[in-house]
A and B are shown apart, each in its own frame.
Chain A
C-alpha cells in the first residue's frame, strides 16, 4: 500500500542523504520525495511517499525515527490529511486538438502557462488521483514532457 510520511528534520548539510541512504541501504523504495524549509528556523519538512506492506512501513518509520537528525515522523496515511502535487505538462496541441485540450484544462482547473504553435504547457495541482486522471486523459494527444514536484501533505485540522 502507498503511504505518505511527513518527516521533520534538522536543516543541516547531509540530512537528505542520511534519509535517502537509509532507504537505498535497506532496500526500501521511495516513490516521491519533497523537501523544503519550514517556518521554524533550522527545521525542514520532507514529504516521502513510499510503497510497502505494513511490516515494511513500520520498519521505515522506526528507522527514520532512529536517525539523529530526524525530529518527528508522522504516517499521514493513518490520518485525515490533505495531499497535493504540482505538475508541469507539455502536451502536443495542433490546431485541431487545441480546443479539446483547453476544455480539459477548464474541467481540471489547470492553467496554461506557456503556448507555442503546436504545444501547450499546463500547470496542474491536485492529489494523486487527479494528476493520474489528467495524465491519462492527455496522453492520447501525446505528452512531450512532465515535471512533477512530488507529493506535499499536511494533516487536516479536524481528525474525525
Chain B
C-alpha cells in the first residue's frame, strides 16, 4: 500500500523507537502534523523552536537515547540553530526535522524559505535535504544511525512539503552502512598494553574524564580503574557524574573554575589519563603549561580531538567503554601482583591534602544569601538524586562546584557553546523522560529570561520542573570579568529592571516563591520540591558574589585566584 511522505516519515520514527517528539508546527511541516494524531508519539508543543531542540537535547542527555524535534521551514528552522549548535558542541544525539518549501520553489526565495542545510552544515554532524520520496525512509534511518553512533551529534533532515505529500511504498531499510563512515570503536591492543605499562610505572597518575565517558556508558569501567588502582579522578563540566562526586578519590572539576586539588593534581602529575575529553581551553588554561611533568594518554573516539589542542604522548582512538574494558582485561589478571592497597598512597594523600587545605568555600555570614549555600541546600534536600539542569554563567559554575553528582546523566548543562536559555527547556526534556524524578533548573536571572516562554510548555504538560533562580540582578559572570579584568567597568551587566518572577510564575499557571532571607531557603525549597507543580523559586542572593577559584583565561592552571 502506498503511503504519503508524511506517513512514511512517521512510520520511520516508530521503527526508530521514538516516544517523544518536541516540536512546533508551521505551513511547511503541516502534512506531518496532519498525520501525527494517528501515531503513538507524545508530542510536546514548545513555545519557541530553540526550546524544542534544547528539550530534545535534555531528553537525550538524561536518557542516553536520541532526542527528536520537528519544526517548520524558514524562521522555524533558523530558530532551531542555537539549539543545534549547542548539541553539536557537546556531542549530543539529536535528530532535527525541518519543513521545507516544495522542491520546485527551492532557491526562489519562496515564503518561509531558508537554506537550512547550508546554514547548519558547520554545526551538525551531518545533514540532508530529501529530494526524492524514495530516499525518505533511508535518509531518516541514516540520520538516526549517524546521530547515535561513533561520536554522537545532531543530524538535520530537511523535508520539502511536496515530498511529504507525494506517495510511495514504505520500505524500511533494515541495514544501514555508509562506505565513508566507519567510526573506529575498538582500541589498538598494542596501545592498550602501552597504557597499562605507563600506569604501572606512574607514581602520580590522574584520570581526567570528559563527556565521552558518559556518552559511551563507561562509568563502571572508569570507577573500577580508579578504585582498583587508587588513582584520583577529576572531570570536565561535561564529565560530571561519570565518577561518584562523594568518593574520596574525587577531586572535583578541573579548569577555569575547577578545584585547587584538581588543578594542582594535573600540574604535578606524572601521568594524565584523558578519557573522552578534548582539552578544551576552559580546561587546560595556557596550553603550554598544562600538566608539564606528565605523560599524556588520550582516549577518544574522534581522531580529530587527538593532537588538536595539546600534543599527547599516547593517542588511542576508540570508544571509551571499549577502551577501558580492554584496559581492565589487561590489568585485572596482574592486579594483585602489581598493585597493592598502598599503590599511589603518598600521591593520593598529597592530593587529598590539597582538597582539605583548599576546599571549595565561600564566606558565610553577612546579610546576603550566598548562592553557593542555595546550591548546597538543593543538593541536601534532593538527597543528591535530582536531575540538575543549569543555565549558563555563575549559576552553572556554582551548580557544578557545589552539587555533588553521584550518577551520570543527572547534570544537564551547555558546556561547549555556553548557551544561556538552555536550562529550562532541557529540564523539560528530562522531566518528560523521567516524570517521577525531581528535576531542578539552577538558573540566573539573566539566563532564565532567554527562554522563559517555555514555562508554558512545562505547565501545560504537567512537567513539574523546579526553577531555582540565583537572582543577583547582574549578568553575573560577565560582571565578574569586568570586576577582575576590566577595571570594574560594569557596562550593561546590571539587570536591575526585572520582571516580578513570582507574578510571572503565576501568570503562566506555575507557583512562585521569593526568598530574601537565608533562614527561608531550606523551608521554601523543601515545600517547592514536594509540590507536584512547576515552581519558580526566586532567591535574592549576594549581588557581588564571585565564582572562585578561578584561573584567568589564558593563564596556567597553577596560577589560580583563590577566594
Q: Which positions in A face B, CB cutoff 8 Å?
A: 10, 13-14, 17-18, 21, 25, 55, 58-59, 62-63, 65-72
Contacts and interface: CB of A to CB of B under 8 A. Distances in A.
B307 A18 contact: no
A62 B304 contact: yes
A65 B121 contact: no
- Interface on chain B toward A: helix, strand, loop, or mixed SS? mixed
B304 A68 contact: no
A35 to B, nearest CB: 16
Given A17-B118, A68-B146, A70-B180, A55 B307 contact: yes
B491 interface: no
B17 interface: no
B533 interface: no
Interface residues of B, number: 18
12 contacts: A13-B129, A14-B117, A17-B118, A21-B122, A55-B307, A59-B307, A62-B304, A66-B304, A67-B180, A68-B178, A68-B181, A70-B180
B57 to A, nearest CB: 21
B125 interface: yes
A5 B347 CA distance: 47
B307 A58 contact: yes
- Interface on chain A toward B: helix, strand, loop, or mixed SS? helix
Q: Which 6 A-B pairs have the closest CB atoms?
A: A68-B126, A71-B180, A62-B304, A62-B303, A25-B122, A68-B181
Contacts of B146: 68
Given A68-B126, A68-B146, A69-B180, A59 B117 contact: no
Interface in B130-181: 146, 178-181
B180 A63 contact: no
Contact of A71 (B117, B179, B302): B179
A146 B165 CA distance: 50
A21 B117 CA distance: 12
Counting chain A CB atoms within 10 Å of each CB, the highest count among B121, B126, B180, B308 belongs to B180
Contacts of A17: 118, 121
A18 B121 contact: yes
A150 B308 CA distance: 29
B117 A68 contact: no
Given A68-B181, A70-B180, A59 B126 contact: no
